[in-house]
A and B are shown apart, each in its own frame.
Chain A
């Protein structure tokens, strides 16, 4: 059974850097075809895809946020890390990590972690 869980700070100040960790079980990011992505959702708004990392360490970023994002993996720890720089209040929202096979859709999601950007 696949499970994912996000962790990180609940409150960050404007201009700070956010680091979120996705810890997963029941899947291997070394297996061909597997990917893990990050998706966020501002309060009361729609989902927005941020970044994705493939089993072969290939990475994809949202074009609108690419300059601020870094996604990495630690296969020994079963973790994927998302780093977002220069945080702004508009970045407030729930951040989810999710599993994908074939990188076409997300079939297992973490519970999400709410990040508030405020001074």
Chain B
């Protein structure tokens, strides 16, 4: 089973700041990597698929990069609604999720 490790666990930033979230896979997943945003009491929302493709309706401040084992989600300028938990997910063998990164207001 492929394990996804997200870092950091918590990211404390101010609105307007730049967020860089990391997701590392225990073995290559090619570009079968997606990112989700989850707010308290809500279902996850797809942000990025195929490592770098924004899902429908996702603002351009969200971008994804990487391939193989190392991936990054970047939020270029944090809006108040971006403070949430972010999960990566791979679909190379089964489907697994990372443990999440919480982006909190500093």
A residues engaging B (CB < 8 A)?
Answer: 37, 39, 46-49, 52, 60, 62-63, 96, 103-112
Contacts and interface: CB of A to CB of B under 8 A. Distances in A.
Given A48-B97, A104-B50, A109 B34 contact: no
A105 B97 contact: no
22 contacts: A46-B100, A47-B36, A47-B87, A47-B100, A48-B97, A49-B89, A49-B97, A52-B95, A60-B94, A63-B1, A63-B94, A103-B91, A104-B50, A104-B91, A105-B46, A105-B89, A107-B46, A107-B55, A109-B43, A109-B44, A109-B45, A111-B43
B94 A62 contact: yes
Number of chain B interface residues as a range: 20 to 34
A108 B98 CA distance: 19
Interface of B: 1, 32, 34, 36, 43-46, 49-50, 55-56, 87, 89, 91, 94-100
B94 A104 contact: no
A112 B89 CA distance: 18
Contacts of A105: 34, 46, 49-50, 89, 91
B41 to A, nearest CB: 9
A18 to B, nearest CB: 19
Contacts of A96: 43-44
Nearest to A49: B95
- Between A48, A96, A107, the greatest number of chain B beta carbons within 10 A of the residue's beta carbon is seen for A107
Given A104-B49, A104-B50, A107-B49, A47 B44 contact: yes
B38 to A, nearest CB: 8
A52 B55 CA distance: 21
A77 to B, nearest CB: 22
Nearest to A6: B43
B94 A46 contact: no
